Structure formats: structure tokens, C-alpha cells
Structure 1
Amino acid sequence: MSLLNKNLENGAGPRSLRKTKSTKDVADFSKVGGLNNHLKTLREVIIFPLLHGNVFSHFRIKAPRGVLFYGPPGTGKTLVAGALAAEINREGIGKVSFFQRKGADILDKWVGESEKNLRNLFDKATKNRPAIIFFDELDGLAPIRSEKNDHIHSSVVATLLALMDGLDNKPGVIVIGATNRIEAIDPALRRPGRFDKELYFPLPGVEARKEIIQVHTNMWKNKPSPKFVVQLSELTAGFCGSDIQALCSEAVLCCMRRLYPRIESKGFKVKIEADTLKVCILSSFLIGD
């Protein structure tokens, strides 16, 4: 029997915490475009063990405890981490506590406080299982231990290693790290038993950009035509997911400025009818019709 089924039988559920992000505020996998292989891998290494924990216990094997995301900025690492928690909730497994932290949230100027913050975080996640701990910009929290780094960083890395090793006896807690500089992370974290899986997030290709555009424009009443989406995906070579999102936002603003030239004037109070706005493409530029 999986941990989640035991929790449901005992009537136990995760308690809400002030710094726990509500999964209602994040997208699930259906709102992630261009990363189908990554989502499939996460299902296999994280969601399947939660759904079918009896299989792992039967064969006496340990389910993965950590996944490391790396790649250029804006390629969807943070988005996928948040979507994972929402997807698990959508599967009907039970409410998942999601803890997102950056290095600045953990590190403290007082000696010993950084390590204490880490231990408190893991304790909260353990008490609120199933839980996901997401470390954004992991390279700032756990850099390579060397003579160049101060004693504080070395102590934080050693504490993080010990806490991740302790998860073997605490099923239901998953650690995800994200970084743009994987070469800067201490090698001890990148072995099986800690971050078992490493997923590379590249800049999206043409088909991936097409999927991302469709995700961002799917809720528009005047949806772009398939031809528009294909043209735009070809024109945005080198764009990451965040760039495409910003482009869609800018296109809508261009529509507003084109139809309502006085919108930036002081005292402009005309109500804008959103249904009248339509984004199109002309001469390789987005304009408003």
C-alpha cells in the first residue's frame, strides 16, 4: 500500500503553511507546451511511485527521491516544477504540499542559521507528506566545495546532502532542483540516491514553439489560425518559452494601442471591448486588427 493510501485511511492530510504555494495558482501538465518527453519522464520517476508504491515495496527497490532540471533561462524549469504538484493533485492522489525556495531564502548571515533553515524546511515537508521541495537556482545554494568557497557554503552543502540521504526513510518527499549552471553544483549531489534523474531543458525547436504559442493563445476568443501559428513559430527561432509568453503579451498591447491610440493619454476612460481585439501577423510583425 502506498503512503498516500495510508494517509487517506488514517484521515491524515497535509496542513496548510504560510509559505506553501497553492497548487490552484499553477498550471498542470496540460498548460505546458513543447516538453512532452520531460513530462513523460516525470510521470515515470515521480507520479508512478506515488500511485503504485506497492510495486516498489514488493520488489524492495527505492523510488527516485530527486530530479535536477538544468538548461538556459526561461525554458520552463520552474513552470514544470509547479505543474508537477498540480498534476499530482489532478490525478486524485491527494493534496500535495509544494515548497519553493531560492538560495536567498535559505542562506542567512548568522552562523548555523542557514543549516537550521534547511532542516526546518525538510521537517515541514516531512510532516506534510506528500510534498515537493523545489530549489530554484540551486547553484547559489549548493556550489562546488573548494578552498575558494567559504566555510558557510560548505556546511550548507553538507547539511543538504545529509538531509537528502535521510529521505530514504521518509517516502513521499521529493526534491527538485533547477539551475542554469549545472557545472557549478557540487558533484556529490549528482549521484543516484540524491538527484537520481537529470533533465535538460533546451531552447524549443519549431514544433515546441508551436505548442507553446498554442498554450498561450488557447483561451483567446479570436484564436490565431493554424497558418498564423506556423508562421510565428518559424519567425521566433532562438526564443525560449518566456520570450514567447512576453511576445504574446506585447502583441495584445499593440492591438490596444492600434485600436485605441489615446489609451495612454491622461483621462482616457473609454471601456475597451476585449472581443474586438485580434492578433494577426503581417510583414513578419505582430499587429492588431
Structure 2
Amino acid sequence: MRHTVVPYSDLVGSIREGSVINVQFVENSRVIYYNTKPSAEQDVEVPQTKLGQIALLKALEPRWKYYTRNVGDDKYQLIKMLKDQGITYGSDPELLSDSMKTFAFAMLQLAPYWFMLGVQGFQLYHQLNLGRMTKRKPSKKQSVTFDDVEGVDSAKAELLEIVLCINEDSKYMKLGAKLPRGVLLAGPPGTGKTLLAHAVAGEAGVSFFSISASELVEIFVGTGAARVRDIFREARKHSPSIIFIDEIDAVGGQRGRTLNCERDQTLNKLLTEMDGFEKDASVVVIAATNRPETLDSALMRPGRFSRKVLVGEPDEEGRRRIFSLYLRNVPMEEDKEAISHLVASRTLGLVGADLGNIAHESVLLAARRDGDFVTSDDVLQAVERATKKAYDDEDKDANDTKSPYPFGPMAQAPVEYGGGAMGFGFH
């Protein structure tokens, strides 16, 4: 409960009437508190049942019932009136002493400087915090295995050796085979390099860390190197493990060719971390890129990315097997194998991602006509859309002198990449 605010004249009138019991002043202030005698209504006897309620209300009442402020009368004259009436009075110390007022005034003057200092501290903390990567939990349950990968038999065979070395297969261990530090997956976009990295972790049953190289490059010097250090530290804690770096050319390009010293420092840290593996730490770095010719030579030397796996565009048989995987969970009444052969013969130059998009587009077409099943007409219509888009993109790239080939220089020799692609079941 709060005090009852009254005019100053009420206090003077109550003092003259003799109804004031006690008065309390506040040092160096015009504030005055006082109490008056109970009114006649309050002296009336009350029933026994209400005594408890009245006692509770009195306990909640403030110490001083009335509150007012002196408007100009001499304080000593008011005290003389209190003495003449025999009224008890006293004084409370002021809320803030002179020293506290001086301190508060000084702090108020320094407030702009404190504000600027706080802003600078926040910026420094933010910059330091950028170097810390969001803690990544390793994934040990990879649902993708080599059974979900088709059209890249040569790549699967090379990566199977990595899996056997991680699992310490006796055939390799007795000859003293060592686990490669790094594996580079190179090939045009959409051939399934990321999926293949997941399949390696799924076959080996080890912890899997995934990161994009663009996450390692920041505008603040040193933050990228700190992020590289953090992810390698976590990988060593969960050894054996696999670190997958997607689009590594974003950070692994030739040093000294640009003014981006932060990228160079990040690459230097990556090089030292790959050389600094403990001998008993089974950590493999798998990286993917569409432009292996742009990578720094130090990154490609033996001992770092010593294994290079080329993943290129699939041939007709590879496209058939990939599309069969995508149709695995698609409801169809027609022969899926016959449709896969038909699609493979009409999708020359398309990769696994394009075939997955065809399967998804055919499902959408069937849903638009409220069909219960996907038909061959839906699939062929999706193929027509995909091939038309591919041809339009090829014509556009052919007219672009900066990029004469639709998938970069590697598109000139798809046979060198193993002639395959990959896919997984359509969901």
C-alpha cells in the first residue's frame, strides 16, 4: 500500500486541530510524513469474524499514512507548532549522501566514455567469437552406403580401400599400409561427390564431420584458421572420423594470386593440420571440387591429398542404374526397368542430380493430375523439360567466351573420371 498524498494545508490544519499524532521529516528535503488519530468510525466495535481481516490490513498499512511537501513555510515555525501541540516529530536521513551524489554526477559525466568502451568491447568479443565455429556434433549413423551409389564403380573401388584401411583390414595391415591423409573428389557439378563422401562414412561406420570451405573464409584475419583448428580438434576427439570439405577451391586456391591474406592464412592452417595428425589418429579428410586445376600445389602433394578420385558424367548404363535407384520408391504400375532404359537413352550428358530432378518432377506432374501412380508419360514429360533446359544452358555457355564448356575444362574428357555418377533412393 502507498502513502496518501495530501496538500500541505491539510497538514497545517490537522496540526492546529490536534489530530496529528507524529510527524517525520527528511533531511535536506521538503518531504513530510505524518499520521493522524483514528476516526470515530474506526473505534466502533467489529464482529469477531472480521478481526483477523482488520489485523491483516493493519499489518499491510505503511508506517506513515500521509505524505506531503512543504511549499515554503519556515521549517522552524512548523516545528514550533508541533512543540506547542505536543506532537512527536523526527527526521530520516536523506536517501543519497553528498559523497554518493558526487559519485553519481561523475559517473553521469563519464557515461559517453563508458558507452564507447562497451561498444568496442562488444565488437572485439564479436570478432573473437567469429573464429569459433558452431560446435558440430559428429554423425555416426550414415544412412547412405555404397549400395546407394551407382555408376561410379572405379571411384567406389578406390574409396573401398579407404574404408578397409579405416577398419584395419588384415590384408592391408600385414603389408604396412597407411591410411591416406586426404582424398580429393573431382568432377563436374551434380555427379554426386558429396553423396559419395557420405557413403564412405556409412560403410566405415565412423564419425562424419561436414563443412563448406566458404564457412572457413571470413573478413577478419585469423578467424578461418581458428575454425580449421576447431573442426580438426573435434575430429581427433572422435577418431576414427572423416572430415568432408565441400567446394575446397574456395579456400584452397593458389596462394599469392589474390590480396585475400585471410584465405591464405586459412589454407596455411589447413596444410599444417593435415601434416600435424597424430600417428595413431585415424582422421581422413575428403574434399570435393569442380575445379582441381585451381588448387594450390602444396595442398595436392603426397602426404596431404595423396588420393585423387575422378567422378565424371555417367554413360548410358550408369544413367540407367542411377535412375533405377531414384525410381525405387516411386509408385508405378509400369515396368520400371523399361522406363529406366528409355530415360537413359534420352538423357545424354545429364548427371545424377539431373536424373534425380527428373524423377522428382515426374512425381509432381502425377500429383497435379491427381494420379495415384506415376506413368511413363509423366516421366517422358519430365525428361523433355530437363533435356530442353540442359540444351539451353549448353547453348548459353557455348556463346560465353569465358566459359566455353558447360562443366568447365573437365567436361572435355569425361572418360578420365571413371565414366560414372551416383544416386540414391527417391523419397
TM-score, reference length from structure 2: 0.54
- The answer to whether residue 210 in structure 2 is matched with residue 110 in structure 1 is no
Look up the match of 1:285: 381
Alignment of 1:20-39 (within 5 A): 20=137, 22-24=139-141, 26-39=143-156
What's the % identity of the aligned pairs?
A: 32
- 1:285–1:167 Cα change, 3 Å: same
Is contact 1:70–1:201 with CA below 8 Å preserved after alignment?
A: yes
Give, in whole Å, the separation in 2 of the partners of 1:53 and 1:171.
16
Give, in whole Å, the separation in 2 of the partners of 1:246 and 1:212.
12
Deviations 1:80-132 (A, max 9, x none): 1112111212xxxxxx2111111222222222111111011101000011110
Look up the match of 2:275: 165
User: What is the deviation of 1:279?
Assistant: 2.6
Q: How many residues align?
A: 249
Look up the match of 1:175: 285
Alignment of 1:25-174 (within 5 A): 26-44=143-161, 46-52=162-168, 58-89=174-205, 96-167=206-277, 169-174=279-284
**Aligned-partner SS, 1:208:** helix
Match for 1:235: what amino acid? R
Is the radius of gyration larger for structure 1 or structure 2?
2
User: What is the deviation of 1:56?
Assistant: 5.5
Match for 1:228: what amino acid? I
**Displaced runs of 4 or more, over 6 A:** none
Give, in whole Å, the separation in 1 of the partners of 2:179 and 2:378.
51
Is contact 2:255–2:264 with CA below 8 Å preserved after alignment?
A: yes
- The answer to whether residue 315 in structure 2 is matched with residue 205 in structure 1 is yes
Alignment of 1:198-277 (within 5 A): 198-222=308-332, 224-259=335-370, 276-277=372-373
Give, in whole Å, the separation in 2 of the partners of 1:135 and 1:225.
36
Is contact 2:142–2:198 with CA below 8 Å preserved after alignment?
A: no
Look up the match of 2:50: none
Give, in whole Å, the separation in 1 of the partners of 2:148 and 2:169.
27
Q: Which has the higher contact order (CA 8 A, sep 6+)?
A: 1
Deviations 1:231-261 (A, max 9, x none): 111111111111110110000111111236x
Give, in whole Å, the separation in 2 of the partners of 1:26 and 1:57.
28
- 1:168–1:54 Cα change, 3 Å: farther
- Which 10-residue stretch deviates more, 214-223 or 18-27? 18-27
User: What is the deviation of 1:59?
Assistant: 4.3
User: Which residues of structure 2 form unaligned runs of 5+?
Assistant: 1-133, 384-427
Match for 2:183: what amino acid? V
- 1:144–1:281 Cα change, 3 Å: same
- 1:71–1:149 Cα change, 3 Å: farther
**Aligned-partner SS, 2:214:** helix
User: Which residues of structure 1 form unaligned runs of 5+?
Assistant: 1-16, 90-95, 261-275
CA-atom RMSD in angstroms: 2.3
User: What is the deviation of 1:61?
Assistant: 4.5
TM-score, reference length from structure 1: 0.79
